Structure 1
Amino acid sequence: MAAAAQTQFSGPVTVFQERRLPETATPAGYVALIDAYDLAVPLPRTLSATGERHRIIEQDGWRIMTPRHAPHATLEGHLTFALKYEGLDLAVLKRLFVATGPDAIEALVREKPTGSYARRIWFLYEWLTGDRLDLPDATAGRYVPVVDPEQQYAPEGENAPRYRVRNNLPGTPDFCPLVYRTEALERFAALKLPQRAQDIVAAVPRDILARTAAFLLLKDSRSSYAIEGERPPQDRIQRWGRAIGEAGRRPLDGEELLRLQRIVIGDARFVKLGFRQEGGFVGEHDRETRMPLPDHISARHEDLQTLIDGMIAFDRGPAQSLDAVVAAAILAFGFVYIHPFEDGNGRIHRYLIHHVLAERGFNPPGVVFPVSSAILERIDEYRAVLESYSARLLPLVEWEPTESFNVRVLNDTGDFYRFFDATPHAEFLYACVQKTIEEDLPHETDFLRRYDRFRQDIEAFLDMSERTTDLLFRFLQQNEGRLSRRAREKEFAALTDEEAMRIEETYRASFGPE
């Protein structure tokens, strides 16, 4: 434990890395380790410290705990505090283990060979670094989960006898974002949204359900392009809609991602298809110099293969037993941060949401929830969620501009895309899914019922084609249930005043409040 004893941990502070504490307190857990070992990592969303008051304070992104929570000012003390109160932050742990080297961790385990935290730390060291410590296999101590399932979402896992722990990490060392259990996520899960969707669908006649499904599918496709600021031709929207409708039918692999990109792009004359062979970023260019102004820097192209392999392993393994929306958030937002393509990343990112939900049977067969439409309505919140991690990541990426006004990443950043806190993303996605089930799905089925009644009532006294009836409806809808002078004088000049009045009454009977 000699190496750990030489490390100096901070005393009470009022500011940590330009972030002011609610009161004077001593950094604890991950914050203390980041400071003591000078780790270049994204800061956890919630930082911990211990103060002098005997009550816990949560304010401004800090959790100030009581004196009795204060850990020993050692590597073992702060690591134990972190695992006990803060859950797993794999990016911090990976960089910490590189900084400490094996000797400090071996000493920590030898000092408490049967301790549950020591054995979890031992497992995490070998899992994250790929290096085997010079320690004999554990022979005592009950099996404990690596991820505390009361803190963070985790599958059942399987026993790792060397450490006498249960490896329930929701991923591999190539890709393993984590999601904390929060009150918001617990409330969403308690709603049993798949059953709600099934109940709505069960009450809908088959023909109306088929039309509802077609409309929602097209709505999602159109919205996904709109999020990117694009207005493609209708045939591209429909083609992408068909791809979304098939989500979950094919296993996810590299070839499937490439196939999806070809569908999304359509005209590839000015886009390099395939996985990037150079850097990438999201942002603008300086108008005068053309230098990059990144809001987000994508994963290095050298890291893409292992990251994609990790995502595929997650989808085929842990995603099958995690909460479906949580799994969809991990996969989809992990993909968009990695940004493996030159173009098409955003739409494929949202496709992956449908892929997981459909694969898990979350939505009724044949029905696609228009998640992209819900995202479009919350576009500012969506961007804030994306930036909740990008903003913390960007200062840690060292880069230089290339001759083609792209970015070249100069430091090792792979771990920052493998391991991140996807909790805000899961909460946001759950809210979007809830809206599609509780609002969009019943609204559209109700609309079609009303429209069918309107059309039947019109056809009872007027001989009109379906196309003309639809045009009539749109005029009424745009003018609050009345036919405008333009409509009466042009498209529907043949109507008598009595017929026009009856049409307006029919519209109000179908679409007025019930």
Structure 2
Amino acid sequence: MQPIGYSYLNRYYKLLLPKLGLEVYIDNTVDTECIRNYGSFKRKLLPRSRKFIDCPYEQMISAIKYQGIRLHYFSAIFNNSLLKKADFSAFLAKKPNSKYNRVLWFLYEWLTNSKLDLPDLKSGNYIQLFEEKYYYTLKNGNKNKRTRVINNAIGTQAFCPTVRKTLEVKNLAKIDVYDTAWAKMQTLGDFLSSDVIGRSINYLYTKETKSSTEIEHEKPDKKKMQRFLNAIKNAGLFELTKEKIIDLQNQIVEDKARVTDYRTSEIYVGSTIQRLNFIDEDVHYVGVLAKYVPEMMEGLLSTHDNLMLDGRVPPLIHAAIISFGEVYIHPMDDGNGRIHRYLIHDVMKQREPEHKFIIPISAAILKNTAKYDAVLESISKPVMAMLEWELDTENNNRLIIHNDIDYMYRYPDYTEHVKFTYEMMNSAISDELISEICLLIAFDRIKRYINDIADIPNNKLDKITSIIINAGGKASKQKRAFIEKHIEHDCLPEVEAKSTQLLKEIKDRFNIDIKSLMRKLP
């Protein structure tokens, strides 16, 4: 069994890059092309009729043919000392007009900022760098006259993520999550009113703020929570710039931790484990080298501008690209996770400003932290497997990084992240948005039942309503004495009957158990 494409290149250039999800091999025992499981990975097996050419440049072409353009691979190869620039130029010069040779030529010069010893092409049609059939791309792109290649990548040389058009992603991309949310809200029928929508949206902003903070296992003070809440409510109103990101970070952290620029030191995400005689740091992820943060963030913001101006990449894919890009670069000393989730809303509001409600994706993520961790690890685990680092225990656990793998941060594949973002949005619509509206409807109606038969101060009325909902429509034995101080004993059964009927109707019609959702409403 002979490795070809990226598997061959990985060995030839001694890259030690983690395996791709699909590796390609020529297998003399098969007669037709097939895909077989290889543990948790897959292998595409090619029949013996396919010629194997033991040449790294030919294998670069095979890699693109069978596995597409993987920018992190080409960046690692083109900056590898084993690549002989003169030999590579000579190989390309044999067929300078060939489609794949031109792609390789452009990629080398784009990724390395270095020219090959080749004359400019004077004729021939322009070709696209990324095939639209397989990747999300910009509609027009930039023409490179030297190679006659149209660079339609969504990003820049400093930061260029890719999203592949798998069948699942293409189907997801047809969904407008705001339209889906609105249609779901309409199923509430006569339960729904503009007042309920407005009040539930206000609460959902609060819930989104609280959930985003809880994901980080933090309990910030009310001042910080209010500042972050205001930021979420105003998402999409400001240009997404370096200054805006820094301002957002300063709204999240303690006043004494405010900054005026991106971080200037190395950073990691982890937890402290207290053992018998020492403290151990469990490091989960290390951010990009601090020296690369400014240029990669500039690349991220340029990618955002590209997608805004082009408008062809669906809004939620756009949001996933920018938000996950920020969290992996980790540009700030603190607050990166909350900025990441804020950016989802910010991009969505910039792309679709006509929608006036929020979809509480952080609440969905909070309920699916294992899936969140898994999608983050699709990038972080390969990075951590390749990174050589240590903590200087004599210098306040200062992080020291010994090797430079910037290409792993610059050129990620976010296909899985897009799928995750759609899944969480759909979960937020079904499980969070509609549930919160139904809870508010139930609270309002039961409160109205009580108010019709008793004159009770509003704060006491809210408390009694909460008690009845928590007990599934009944007055619990423990709290019954308190309730009967405010509601006449003969009137209480009517309130209980109407409350029980309403909660049952909501459960039967919408499969939502209001009692299980109950908590102190604002």
> Post-superposition shift, 1:130?
0.6
What is the match of residue 325 of structure 1?
316
What is the match of residue 262 of structure 1?
250
Letter in 2 for 1:501: P
Identity %: 28
1:454-474 per-position Cα deviation (integer Å, ceiling 9, x unaligned):
333332222234433321221
SS at match of 2:44: strand
Deviates more, 1:462-471 or 1:198-207: 198-207
For residues 423 and 456 of structure 1, the distance between their equivalents in structure 2, rounded to whole angstroms, comes to 49
CA contact (8 A) 1:91 1:416 kept: yes
1:169 aligns with 2:153: yes
CA contact (8 A) 2:456 2:486 kept: no
For residues 450 and 491 of structure 1, the distance between their equivalents in structure 2, rounded to whole angstroms, comes to 18
What pairs up with 1:481-492 in 2 under 5 angstroms?
A: 481-492=473-484
What pairs up with 1:212-251 in 2 under 5 angstroms?
A: 212-251=200-239
SS at match of 2:404: coil
1:219-262 per-position Cα deviation (integer Å, ceiling 9, x unaligned):
11100111011122344323212101111211122211111111
What pairs up with 1:92-171 in 2 under 5 angstroms?
A: 92-99=73-80, 100-156=83-139, 157-171=141-155
For residues 294 and 147 of structure 1, the distance between their equivalents in structure 2, rounded to whole angstroms, comes to 36
What is the match of residue 356 of structure 2?
366
Instruction: Give the one of 23, 26, 29 matched to 2:5.
Output: 29
SS at match of 1:372: helix
Pairs aligned (count): 488
Change (3 A) 1:416 1:221: same
CA contact (8 A) 1:71 1:77 kept: no
What is the match of residue 198 of structure 2?
210
Letter in 2 for 1:31: S
> Post-superposition shift, 1:346?
0.9
Instruction: Give the one of 286, 298, 314 matched to 2:303.
Output: 314
SS at match of 2:157: coil
What pairs up with 1:416-435 in 2 under 5 angstroms?
A: 416-435=408-427
> Post-superposition shift, 1:344?
0.9
Letter in 1 for 2:247: R
TM-score, length-normalised on structure 2? 0.87
> Post-superposition shift, 1:198?
4.2
Runs of 4+ in 1 over 6 A off after TM superposition: none
SS at match of 1:341: coil
For residues 108 and 76 of structure 1, the distance between their equivalents in structure 2, rounded to whole angstroms, comes to 7
What is the match of residue 14 of structure 1?
none
For residues 96 and 53 of structure 2, the distance between their equivalents in structure 1, rounded to whole angstroms, comes to 18
What is the match of residue 510 of structure 1?
502
SS at match of 2:24: strand
TM-score, length-normalised on structure 1? 0.89
> Post-superposition shift, 1:274?
4.5
1:273-307 per-position Cα deviation (integer Å, ceiling 9, x unaligned):
75222111112346445464322111111111111
What is the match of residue 266 of structure 2?
279
Letter in 2 for 1:380: A
For residues 170 and 124 of structure 1, the distance between their equivalents in structure 2, rounded to whole angstroms, comes to 14
For residues 387 and 220 of structure 2, the distance between their equivalents in structure 1, rounded to whole angstroms, comes to 34
CA contact (8 A) 2:474 2:500 kept: no
Change (3 A) 1:273 1:292: farther
Letter in 1 for 2:88: I
CA contact (8 A) 2:472 2:503 kept: no
Instruction: Give the one of 176, 190, 199 matched to 2:174.
Output: 190
Which ranges of structure 2 fall in alignment gaps of 5 or more residues? 510-522
CA contact (8 A) 1:46 1:61 kept: yes
Letter in 1 for 2:298: D
CA contact (8 A) 1:248 1:357 kept: yes
1:378 aligns with 2:368: yes
